Amino acid sequence: MRLKGKSALVTGAASGIGKATAQRFAEEGCTVVCADKNGDGAQQSAKEINATGAKAFAVTLDVTQADQVGAAIAKAIEQTGGLDIVVNNAGITIVGSVEQMSEAQWDTEMDINVKSIFLMSKAVWSHMKVRKGGVILNTASIAGQIGIAQDAAYCASKAAVIMLTRCMAKDGAGDKIRVNCVCPGFIDTPMIQGYFNDQDDPAAARQFATGLHPLGRLGFARDIANGFLYLASDDAEWVTGTALTVDGGLMAALPG
Ligand SMILES: NC(=O)c1ccc[n+]([C@@H]2O[C@H](COP(=O)([O-])OP(=O)(O)OC[C@H]3O[C@@H](n4cnc5c(N)ncnc54)[C@H](O)[C@@H]3O)[C@@H](O)[C@H]2O)c1
């Protein structure tokens, strides 16, 4: 049990990577708060975890709204008795080049993917400081390390997540607040299926994306959950400010 006695809040826990991370943490003895804009989905994730005998709660929030973020953190602290880990995972992708995207789309993507991490981390920071430590984990992407056509705002947002992770790691080190992120490759979740659906030929897009990964398949949400588990655990007690790439070898296989 690598997280026995710990408590975590995971955003985007109604689906995909967030749901798998909440489940994986619960398997390792962690009490989990499943947080999502999709309140029914968050409830369902918590219900499934509770059915295994582990302990989970649900909270509904829009991660872009400071008042909702503050209320969710307060509720999670009350439900769990204290938060050790926050996983800032909620995110979206809107396909398009700068030429094609509207200003509103740009703002929406930046708010959900980046500003949310600022708001969530700000809301939990003093709590972790008083507890003399904590772990903040963020979902970045290989899209924050390479440019992808027709994905300008997403790539820019995920590059910002990597840099925000580094800066918060430096700021938090003195208070034993560790901050790390994971950079997934293409992970088989509703979000990536939506991304494929937005392409001219969704089946070809899926096949192309699969072929980018030397290990021969798209990632499972659980692959990323396992990365988060390592970073959340005491095995990573000397790891902060890092971007852990979990991508089936995609980045290693790029030319140059
Ligand atoms: N799937 C991939 O290939 C992939 C690759 C790299 C990074 N990521 C990142 O992983 C994270 C999770 O993606 P996923 O693939 O599991 O997607 P998903 O669509 O399956 O899940 C995302 C969840 O975030 C929630 N959410 C969206 N906006 C929200 C908001 N404003 N407030 C609260 N919750 C909100 C959704 O309701 C949903 O439950 C995202 O940050 C995404 O950018 C995904």
How far, in Å, from the CA of 34 to the mean position of ligand 1? Answer: 13
Q: Of 1, 12, 35, whose CA–CA distance to 187 is shortest?
A: 12
Give domain status of residue 2, yes or no: no
Give domain status of residue 200, yes or no: yes
The residue whose CB lies within 8 Å of the most ligand 1 atoms, and thus the one to mutate among 189, 199, 218, 245, is 189
Domain of residue 139: give its range: 7-245
**Strand order across the beta sheet in which 56-60 lies:** 56-60, 31-36, 7-11, 85-88, 134-139, 177-184, 243-246
Q: How many domains does the chain have?
A: 1
Query: Does the C-beta of 227 come closer than 6 Å to ligand 1?
Result: no
The residue whose CB lies within 8 Å of the most ligand 1 atoms, and thus the one to mutate among 15, 162, 183, is 15
51 pLDDT more than 70:
yes
Give domain status of residue 254, yes or no: no
How far, in Å, from the CA of 130 to the mean position of ligand 1? Answer: 30
Confidence of residue 23 (pLDDT cuts 50, 70, 90): very high
Active-site residue, 230 included: no
Query: Does the C-beta of 37 come closer than 6 Å to ligand 1?
Result: yes
Query: Does the C-beta of 68 come closer than 6 Å to ligand 1?
Result: no
Give domain status of residue 71, yes or no: yes
Q: 122-170 pLDDT, tens per residue?
A: 999 999 999 999 999 999 999 999 999 999 999 999 999 999 999 999 9
How far, in Å, from the CA of 174 to the mean position of ligand 1? Answer: 31
Give domain status of residue 175, yes or no: yes
Give domain status of residue 253, yes or no: no
Q: Of 88, 71, 84, whose CA–CA distance to 160 is shortest?
A: 88
How far, in Å, from the CA of 88 to the mean position of ligand 1? Answer: 10
Query: Does the C-beta of 44 come closer than 6 Å to ligand 1?
Result: no
Hey, what are 129's tokens?
A: 């400081």
The residue whose CB lies within 8 Å of the most ligand 1 atoms, and thus the one to mutate among 92, 95, 112, is 92
How far, in Å, from the CA of 37 to the mean position of ligand 1? Answer: 11
Residue 28: which residues within 8 A CB-CB, separation 6 or more?
Answer: 1, 2, 3, 4, 229, 233
Query: Does the C-beta of 144 come closer than 6 Å to ligand 1?
Result: no
Confidence of residue 254 (pLDDT cuts 50, 70, 90): confident
Query: Does the C-beta of 248 come closer than 6 Å to ligand 1?
Result: no
Q: 74-125 pLDDT, tens per residue?
A: 999 999 999 999 999 999 999 999 999 999 999 999 999 999 999 999 999 9
Give domain status of residue 226, yes or no: yes
Q: 209-247 pLDDT, tens per residue?
A: 999 999 999 999 999 999 999 999 999 999 999 999 999
Give domain status of residue 250, yes or no: no
In whole angstroms, what is the distance from residue 125 CA to residue 108 CA? 24
User: Are the C-beta atoms of residues 35 and 45 closer than 8 Å to each other?
Assistant: no
CATH number, residue 218: 3.40.50.720
Neighbours of 209 (CB within 10 A): 18
pTM, 2 dp = 0.98
Catalytic residue among 154, 186, 195, 196: 154
